[in-house]
Copies of this chain bind each other. A is one copy, B any other.
């Protein structure tokens, strides 16, 4: 029994071509001695340029993705190899993180690793990148239950959603974006949408709680 945790539509991508000639982008690329195509889109650096982008408010938050990743990889369930992490991105890439891999805790190193991985420089043993939508990922892991977490879902106690929806091959899907809801391409494939709190919570908080809930309430096999 493996639990699949999927960060969906994550705000993690290289700067798209549309913004390569923007001043803020050129400046951060120059600082790193890289081409604009090789650096991460980052709201804290490219805010003004990003206003021109479609869905600009949902993209370019590698910091948020980093925190969410650490919230997963620090848990006992992950450390014991009971959780597998996928990062699905806004542009429909899937980063397949080898079981048990500890991603960098330092943001600088995480950023550098992601730039390499997304540029295809480092296919790497630890992270494999594939072009893949959320639906294809569900098919690939052969999930029999896909549980999304969203403030707009049904408010449910942990023992309730775990016993009701966690099955043999379950996916827990959490948005890897700063605001808004899942897009239809994700929504249409969720078997349940659960809200764990009446307040809106950041992805890393939701992740730490639902994995803790899973550890406490899953059927012991």
Contacts and interface: CB of A to CB of B under 8 A. Distances in A.
B70 A199 contact: no
B71 A204 contact: yes
A44 B204 contact: no
A75 B106 CA distance: 22
A107 B105 contact: no
Contacts of A70: 67, 202, 204
Given A208-B208, A208-B209, A209-B208, A74 B202 contact: yes
Given A63-B105, A212-B212, A197 B74 contact: no
A108 B74 contact: no
A109 interface: yes
A76 interface: yes
B63 A106 contact: yes
A192 to B, nearest CB: 21
A187 interface: no
A48 interface: no
Interface in A48-101: 63-64, 66-67, 70-71, 74-76, 79-80
A26 B209 CA distance: 42
Contacts of A64: 105
A205 interface: yes
A141 interface: no
A107 B40 CA distance: 15
Contact of A209 (B106, B107, B108, B212): B212
